Amino acid sequence: MISDAQERLPRLPRLIEQATATFTKRFAHPPKWVAIGPGRVNLIGEHVDYNDGFVLPMAIDRHIVIAAAPASARCALSATESLPQVPSHISRLASDGQEQLVEIDTTSAMKRSDPAWANYVRGVIAGFQDRGITVPTFDAMVVSDLPMGGGLSSSAAIEMATASLLEIMTGHFMSLAEKALLCQRAEHEFARVPCGIMDQFASAMGRRDHLLLLDCRSQQISHVPLQDDSIAVLIVNSNVRHELSDGGYAQRRSQCEQAAAMLGVSSLRDATMADLAAAESQMEPVNYRRARHVISEIQRTTEAAAAVEAAQWDDVGKAMYESHASLRDDFEVSCAELDLLVELARGISEGQASDVLRDSVIGCRMTGGGFGGCVVSLVKKHLASKVAAEISKRYELKTGIAATAFITRPADGAKAWLL
Ligand code: ADP
Ligand code: MG
């Protein structure tokens, strides 16, 4: 139960307090370090990361927080009936979102094991060990206000928080890019998810009031200010996930590769709309449409970044709606629920709900891999909660499913500190 005083605290400080209190309760000694990893949302640039394109994500004000202490801080008194003493080479890991207390022998090489959620942590420990860094034994408590599996990258957030924790714990610090790549590898090898670099880069390099324009080929980033105080980012989770997703992703990747081969380029990043038009008659129609999405989306993303910087909101909104249409029609990774959410946002902004909400939504699109998950919108800040309520109400009326909506802002990247 959160008291009134806590309710007034901003979200992250409250979560950090919760992490330290839960740690102490769970392990019967206080934490020494705290690490945070933000989730992320992608404003535009979808399904282009594996085509060497540009993406425009931001870290969000929703986090994984880990409170931790060295095993040496354990004392005999901390042994209780529910938490017996463990050998000094065994690390203990708990999460408020998971039942099981996990024991990890951090003095030996990491292996994938049960429970699956701890593999994100094991994978990051493995990355440190691969660099010859000794990881000491610790106790750690994970708390989070990020939905798990909701497309906001709680996986990258837990990896980046873990990597930041291990940096401060071991005294070995790395560049943000190296840390993000270490975490991407953890996700590939320990969670067996073949993700691109966007999630970890956004969680590592997020900056308050900035978007991140990431070139997935060169791995160069530039921060794009999103400082207009009248604009807010609204995320609405459809709370559906259609099972097609795994096979659908692999199939899209291979169709993009086939299209690139047909166009004689190593990736679709190097093809233009003119190249595509010239090759249309020789291409499988489905591969042609996949390529049309990717090539146009890369262009929309760089244009949208420039439009955000110039505060040309009509152009940003147009790019977001076009991105959604392209993902729906050409890339075929949307679903009825995501399409409905986008149409509700557009309709509300056209005045279908009330005149007060006319022009309240700048743009809206599905975000993430698709087949369910979230839509992201840019909205007028003073109307944001009314828009969220109206979209949720109409969505539930049409589908019978309760959506989850929240307003967020670009946040700083992962970090850790001594308490
Ligand atoms: P997303 O990254 O979109 O949230 P993923 O399926 O990639 O979805 O990652 C979700 C997984 O990350 C969870 O199934 C769980 O294993 C792990 N995870 C996320 N948040 C937590 C948490 N608070 N505690 C423990 N594990 C977590
Ligand atoms: Mg993930």
User: Which ligand lies nearest to the CA atom of residue 96 in the structure?
Assistant: 1
Active site residue 359: no
Q: Residue 1 has what pLDDT?
A: 35
Return the ligand 1 atom nearest residue 193 CA. 7
User: Is 311 exposed, middle or buried (CB count within 10 Å of its CB: 0-12, 13-18, 19+)?
Assistant: middle
Query: Ligand 1 within 6 A of 95 CB?
Result: yes
Q: What are phi and psi of 158, to 5 degrees?
A: -70, -35
| 406 confidence band (pLDDT: 50, 70, 90) | very high
Q: What are phi and psi of 55, to 5 degrees?
A: -130, 155
Residue-wise pLDDT tens digits, 42-69: 999 999 999 999 999 999 999 999 999 9
* Token pair belonging to 391: 């979209």
Q: How close is the Cα of 142 to the center of ligand 2, in Å?
A: 16
Ligand 1: which of 22, 40, 154 to mutate, most ligand atoms within 8 Å of CB? 154
Q: Residue 208 has what pLDDT?
A: 96
Query: Ligand 1 within 6 A of 241 CB?
Result: no
Query: CA–CA distance from 37 to each of 67, 147, 204, 205, 376 (Å)?
Result: 12, 13, 8, 10, 20
Ligand 1: which of 22, 40, 155 to mutate, most ligand atoms within 8 Å of CB? 155
Options 199, 209, 329, 330, the catalytic residue: 199
* Token pair belonging to 181: 């790549």
Residue-wise pLDDT tens digits, 207-243: 999 999 999 999 999 999 998 999 999 999 999 988 7
Query: CA–CA distance from 207 to each of 22, 63, 112 (Å)?
Result: 28, 14, 33
Instruction: Record the pTM.
Output: 0.94
CA dist 258 and 265 (Å) reads 10
3-class SS at 313? Answer: helix
Residues 6+ apart with CB under 8 A from 308: 43, 56, 211, 224, 225, 226, 316
Rounded (5°) CA angle 6-234-197: 100
Do 307 and 316 touch, CB atoms closer than 8 A?
A: yes
Residue-wise pLDDT tens digits, 82-135: 566 788 899 999 999 898 899 999 999 999 999 999 999 999 999 999 999 999
Residue-wise pLDDT tens digits, 123-152: 999 999 999 999 999 999 999 999 888 889
